[in-house]
A and B are shown apart, each in its own frame.
Chain A
Amino acid sequence: MITKKLRKDPLNLIIIGVAGQGNVLISQLVCQALAKEGYLVTFGQTYSSNQRGGSVNNYVRVSKEIQCSPIIPSGAADVILGMEPLDTLRMLAQYGNPKVITIVNPRPIDVAGRVSDYPDIHKLIETIKSLSAKTWIINATEEAEKLGDAILANMILTGSLVGSGILPLDEKTMVPLIQERFPNDFDINMAAFNKGVELYQAVA
């Protein structure tokens, strides 16, 4: 069943974003695909109480040996996929290590109720880079808006994540899952996914 090799066991992936950005969807698609490939997958989440505007942290753990716990130990992330830069940095601070690979959508989302202003985006991205072995900046929201809907940023980032080959997943594995998930909007979601693969190739 298992076609591609896991680069590390367990492989720990964090997908982070703001509630409403659709980061749970990325996690679900990726987890489903990995389970189909025969891996033991654990998908944990923490989130704040508001359904829109709070942080949603998704922890995806992949192993051939054990059903991992839904919480990643500190400093043990292998890949962080951030839909929002500030949230990405918060995850790096807790789960980052010198080998971590970060994929980040640089589009900031303000934090309602913050006392101070949103940090300087360039400095923020520089900090993320300084804490990652590799950082791939994917302008997912910008490209999604070009495709007609900012929500497609999640499918773009799914494309970049799968396209990067960090996970033992093939781009082709994703097609039936995207079809199943979006029976009515398959074309646009597939276009977003392919755009993500392309954007990865351009920055890698």
Chain B
Amino acid sequence: MPDIDIDAQGTTLLLMGNEAIARGALEAGVGFVAAYPGTPSSEILPAIAEVARQRGIYAEWSVNEIVAIEAATAASLAGIRAMSPMKQNGTQVALDFLGNLAQRGVGAGLVLVTVDDPGSHNSSNEQDTRHVAKWLDIPMLEPGDFQEAKDMTRWAFDLSEEVDIICMLRAVSKISHTRGNVKLGDLPTRQYKASFPYDGAGRVGGRQRMWGIPHDVQHKKLAIAREKYETSPFNRYVGPDKPELLIITSGATWLYSQEAVRTVGLEKRVGILKLGTIWPLPEKLVTEHLDKSLEVLFVEEIDPFIEGSVMELAASQVPGKPQHTFYGKRSGHINAYGELSPDDVIKALNKIMGINYQARDPAYLKKVEAIPREYAVNRGGALCPGCPHRASFWNIRTALKLDGRGGFATGDIGCYTQGLLPGGFSVVKTLYCMGGSAGIATGFGKLGQFGFKQPVLAVCGDSTFFHATIPALINGIFNNSNFTLVVLDNTATAMTGFQPHPGTGRTAMGEPARAIKIEDICRSLGVPVEVCDPFKFKETTETLLKMMAIDKGTRVVVMKRECELIRGRRESPPYKVTVSPDLCLGDDCGCDRLCTRIFLCPGLRWNKETGKSEIDPILCTGCGVCVDICPQGAIKREVL
């Protein structure tokens, strides 16, 4: 991670969009940052936490996103510039508070960063959070490159203060999670003195009202933001004075559009209006550009947000104006789902401009098409070598089979989401949101009166337990719902990059904290609780069977084993694992290649020449758990 707090104005660094956002906040003099890890937004908070102490900033990993934005708001009310970064799903978790905050005003500048994930690279769903800004009536900006990610974040704090409202910065994966050039600005130091000024009229900080519904006031604030947008340098136009086609775009799709136009050589015929201030729409500016061209193509990811806003604007123009032809998602020229690329824009330009640009050489393409399918497979769908979740799912798989009542697991968000896939033996059958696993299980657990007999295991991770599982667990206990909560406690928020959580014993700024034990919380609720090591197959499977057999009320199994990647960073491998070629019977065994075809640890591979299994020494972490799955005892572990 580059040093994001160097005080060297004018220096160019290669920053990840998330680091650029962090730098922008530092340049704005942010004093308080609170977040919950969610990729593609996960790197913003650590970048600030890393330099927080020396810069007099407070940074925390909060237990979830709504608490994060609540904590950040307190700082804002007390006169400290504050920020809360999160991913799109997190923004939904925070929505109840945000919906109230939007109508209250702020103290010092308050910025919500939301990072969307078009194409769902790191998400369980695909959503366009730009609607949140429209829905809540708050200003929203979107950076179109790495430099803007920094500059815009800095400006967002000013805007929030000037307009007296929380300001939203929306980015996408391909800005937040990629790197590019960023020229640094100055790094002012702020001396904050926090206090919470209030009076008897429901006002704090002199202006925010804590009661009443000042929705009309909010609309006036948005009108001020719109006025500022009209001249913002974050909106710009490149292209001829009278373009045959006007592209309106923003965010990463601005980069795709720019590149597509250059690639097909249409710079003299096609113009691009790149918007950075997305909501409310800068109507005068857009109208000015609409007047220059009657053909308009909208290039944006996920929903037709700008498309809808501009078409609404066009429909309200003076009667008698010539009608535009609009191309975009409505016309089918741009997909209303997934991540776009320069290819998608080229495809649209081909159709609209009547050109025939072919990216691939036809003879070459023919050769590519002739490649056998097995030569171009995708990787993925397997847990990491040595992952304790694989062992946990193995236990669940065995227990469900032995139990024999058609039981299943419900899942949610984390590395263990892969329980849906063959890598987790597909034991997990439902996937919704953080905490959704236990929540849905409380419902299944109350279906007994309708004849429901299948045992339900709700699987959640340790960080997810603290984030959103606790209310669902208590709901289950309160309503006497029949299910078993299985906490896969690997002492890490592993999927997003090993961030600390309430169970890890340290904070975002590296300070020691009370490590809250999940089993202690559960025991305090008075329900049956068992703790076991997923690597001990027999014991753990028996525990699961015993818990399932109780068949009434809510009970908890905590499967505890540290994430193998964390262990591996600290220690050398515990075992040297090998497959004995004398004992492995290969396809004659009858196990149907249990280790390489079913267990699916990447550290085990099938050797086509010998017709037997073997260890890939590069991938094997030496955890040794596979020794216990081989029916022939052919996998050997030797203590190192």
Whether B341 is near chain A, meaning CB under 8 Å from some CB there, is: yes
A75 and B359 contact, Cβ closer than 8 Å, known pairs A18-B379, A67-B146: yes
Please tell me if the beta carbons of A71 and B377 are within 8 angstroms of each other in the complex. Answer: no
Whether A89 is near chain B, meaning CB under 8 Å from some CB there, is: yes
Please tell me if the beta carbons of B619 and A53 are within 8 angstroms of each other in the complex. Answer: yes
Whether A111 is near chain B, meaning CB under 8 Å from some CB there, is: yes
Please tell me if the beta carbons of B259 and A112 are within 8 angstroms of each other in the complex. Answer: no
A52 and B379 contact, Cβ closer than 8 Å, known pairs A67-B145, A75-B359: no
Whether B80 is near chain A, meaning CB under 8 Å from some CB there, is: no
CB distance from A154 to the nearest CB of B (A): 12
Please tell me if the beta carbons of A35 and B174 are within 8 angstroms of each other in the complex. Answer: no
A69 and B256 contact, Cβ closer than 8 Å, known pairs A110-B616, A113-B600: yes
Please tell me if the beta carbons of A53 and B602 are within 8 angstroms of each other in the complex. Answer: yes
Among A91-99, A159-167, A182-190, A196-204, the stretch in contact with B? A91-99
Chain A hits for B375, CB < 8 A: 86, 89, 119, 124, 127
Chain A hits for B421, CB < 8 A: 113
Please tell me if the beta carbons of A41 and B380 are within 8 angstroms of each other in the complex. Answer: no
Please tell me if the beta carbons of A52 and B565 are within 8 angstroms of each other in the complex. Answer: yes
Chain A hits for B380, CB < 8 A: 48-50, 54-55
Whether B150 is near chain A, meaning CB under 8 Å from some CB there, is: no
Number of interface residues of B (CB under 8 A): 70
Chain B minimum-CB-distance residue to A41? B14
Chain B minimum-CB-distance residue to A128? B375
CB distance from B270 to the nearest CB of A (A): 16
Whether B54 is near chain A, meaning CB under 8 Å from some CB there, is: no
Please tell me if the beta carbons of A87 and B359 are within 8 angstroms of each other in the complex. Answer: no
Whether B235 is near chain A, meaning CB under 8 Å from some CB there, is: no
Whether A173 is near chain B, meaning CB under 8 Å from some CB there, is: no
Q: Which of A45, A96, A107, A112 contacts B364 (CB 8 A)?
A: A96
Please tell me if the beta carbons of B382 and A50 are within 8 angstroms of each other in the complex. Answer: yes
Contact mask B253-273 → A, CB, 8 Å, 1/0? 001101110110000000000
Chain B hits for A113, CB < 8 A: 381-382, 421-423, 600
Whether B181 is near chain A, meaning CB under 8 Å from some CB there, is: yes
CB distance from B267 to the nearest CB of A (A): 12
Q: Which of A68, A73, A75, A124 contacts B361 (CB 8 A)?
A: A75
CB distance from B84 to the nearest CB of A (A): 25
Please tell me if the beta carbons of A43 and B14 are within 8 angstroms of each other in the complex. Answer: yes
Chain A minimum-CB-distance residue to B342? A73
Whether A179 is near chain B, meaning CB under 8 Å from some CB there, is: no
Whether B376 is near chain A, meaning CB under 8 Å from some CB there, is: yes
CB distance from B341 to the nearest CB of A (A): 4
Chain A hits for B418, CB < 8 A: 49-50
In Å, the complex CA distance between A151 and B146 comes to: 31
Chain B hits for A117, CB < 8 A: 606, 608
A49 and B14 contact, Cβ closer than 8 Å, known pairs A42-B179, A66-B258: no
In Å, the complex CA distance between A127 and B376 comes to: 11
* Residue in A50, A51, A112 with the greatest tally of chain B CB atoms within 10 Å: A112
Please tell me if the beta carbons of B374 and A119 are within 8 angstroms of each other in the complex. Answer: yes
A44 and B601 contact, Cβ closer than 8 Å, known pairs A111-B377, A117-B606: no
In Å, the complex CA distance between A80 and B94 comes to: 43
Chain B minimum-CB-distance residue to A73? B342
Please tell me if the beta carbons of A110 and B14 are within 8 angstroms of each other in the complex. Answer: no
Chain A hits for B585, CB < 8 A: none
Please tell me if the beta carbons of A116 and B374 are within 8 angstroms of each other in the complex. Answer: yes
Q: Which of B411-426 contact A (CB under 8 A)?
A: 415, 417-418, 421-423
Whether B178 is near chain A, meaning CB under 8 Å from some CB there, is: yes
Please tell me if the beta carbons of A35 and B181 are within 8 angstroms of each other in the complex. Answer: yes
CB distance from A59 to the nearest CB of B (A): 8
Whether A70 is near chain B, meaning CB under 8 Å from some CB there, is: yes
Please tell me if the beta carbons of B259 and A141 are within 8 angstroms of each other in the complex. Answer: no
A69 and B252 contact, Cβ closer than 8 Å, known pairs A49-B122, A112-B600, A127-B371: yes
Please report B residues at the A interface, Cβ cutoff 8 Å: 12-14, 121-122, 145-147, 174-175, 177-181, 252, 255-256, 258-260, 262-263, 339, 341-343, 346, 359-361, 363-364, 367-368, 371-372, 374-385, 415, 417-418, 421-423, 494-495, 565, 596, 600-602, 604-606, 608, 616-619
Given A53-B382, A66-B262, 5 additional A-B pairs, CB 8 A = A48-B378, A66-B258, A70-B175, A74-B343, A98-B361
